[in-house]
Amino acid sequence: MKNIYYWCPFIGKIATVKAVINSATSLAKYSNKKLAPTIINSCGEWDDLNYSLLERNIRTKKFKNFFKIDTNTSGYFKSRIAYIKIFVSCFFLLKNTLKKDQPEYLIAHLITSLPMFLYLIFKFKTKLIVRVSGKVKMNFLRKLLWKMSKKNITLITCPTKETQKYFIKLNLIEESRIIYLPDPIIEIDTILHQKKIPLENVTHKDFFIMVGRFTKQKNHLLTIRCFKSIAEKKKNINLLVVGDGELANEYQKEINRLRLNDRIQLVNYQSNIFNYFKKSLGLISSSLWEDPGFVMIEAAACNTFVISSDCSSGPKEFIGNDSGILFKNDNLQSLEQKILEFLSLNKSVIFQKKINAKKKAINFTKLRHFKILEHSLS
């Protein structure tokens, strides 16, 4: 049995956490006990998830750390301070764990600079895999770290082909060690067997839905402002914004300012979002960047139409003319045009686009992720 450790100290509700849980779940479920996943609980960030992880046969390795992560931390400055504290407090804890436990692989998802730096200083029997997403900005120090770490990294995994091409172009590591590994986002059986429950907290019948953290990256304000015009032109079309985060008050103030309280509704984070997708007219994603875009793939798997920004990484690989609608990134007029275009589409066209998107969503199952990862670990 090979022991596989995951390194993913997280702050706030981010899709990467789900990616790690689903990846570890796929190893525990499909490897026939040949691969044993363990998630490193560096600063208490995984405490609340420990029981559900055990149910999935995923172990956790908790560090005896003086620093505890507040998983509700928000804002750029606070998160940077938290990352520095994680780096410093976990430096020797991670080093000693790798020396003592000697797992076959360490898969690093977040704060990857720490294991990369450790591998420069110390020798480990554990092979290092680094997951990268998006077009990472390579300043001088970061580029130097990657170049110096070249001999220590066994694999770089990328959740989209665009990110893979970007990293190959950077020429920091051999192309053969940079692989495309789709995130394990969906499990078909889970979606098919979701219980249908009434949406008691939803006041509108005909609504588009937006799902995600209330942060700058998700750019929800663009769609909220766009709905000022949509509401005037389409009297029965509404918007449901699901999530939570640092910009919640700003969103509500903007809705009040635009006098759209009767057309736009904010709903807190929902652990089961599938029923919301199925009841909606379609999903709108106005993110400034995604890689690959969990919400879009989950929505498509639920047979929900997707309208997305043509942002860096992700969406264009999944949403095209045959499987949804793309609008110009961070462009209010383009978004309005595409929403109105969707509302004028023939039902048969909408049906076919949804079928095509659902077929693409199958590329992001836990089983497919497992097969590629298992092959890479052999």
pLDDT digits (tens, 9 = 90+) for 255-312: 999 999 999 999 998 878 888 999 999 999 999 998 888 999 999 999 999 999 998 7
268: Cα separation from own chain's centroid: 18
DSSP 8-class letter at 186: B
The second-level CATH assignment, the architecture, of 2-185+365-377 is 3-Layer(aba) Sandwich (3.40)
Quick one: pLDDT at residue 73? Answer: 64
Beta strand residue intervals within 23-171, DSSP E: 35-41, 59-62, 105-108, 127-131, 153-158
Quick one: pLDDT at residue 199? Answer: 72
Q: How far is CA 146 from CA 90, 126, 138, 265, in A?
A: 20, 18, 9, 45
The second-level CATH assignment, the architecture, of 190-363 is 3-Layer(aba) Sandwich (3.40)
Calculate the dihedral angle through the C-alpha atoms of 323, 328, 334, 337, rounding to the nearest 10 degrees.
Answer: -10
Give the integer Cα–Cα distance in Å for 259 and 79: 33
Quick one: pLDDT at residue 193? Answer: 62
Question: Residues in the chain with pLDDT < 70?
Answer: 71-76, 192-198, 200
Kindly report, as residue ranges, where domains of CATH 3.40.50.2000 are found in the chain. 2-185+365-377, 190-363
Peptide bond into 103 cis (omega under 30): no
pLDDT (tens digit, 9 = 90+) per residue, 7-39? 999 877 778 888 999 999 999 999 999 999 999
Dmax (CA) for the chain in angstroms is 65
340: Cα separation from own chain's centroid: 28
Residue type, 347: K
Quick one: pLDDT at residue 194? Answer: 65
Query: What is the sign of the dihedral through the CA atoms of 368, 373, 375 and 378?
Result: negative
Quick one: pLDDT at residue 234? Answer: 93
CB 352 within 8 A of CB 307: no
114: Cα separation from own chain's centroid: 21
CB 99 within 8 A of CB 123: no
Quick one: pLDDT at residue 228? Answer: 96
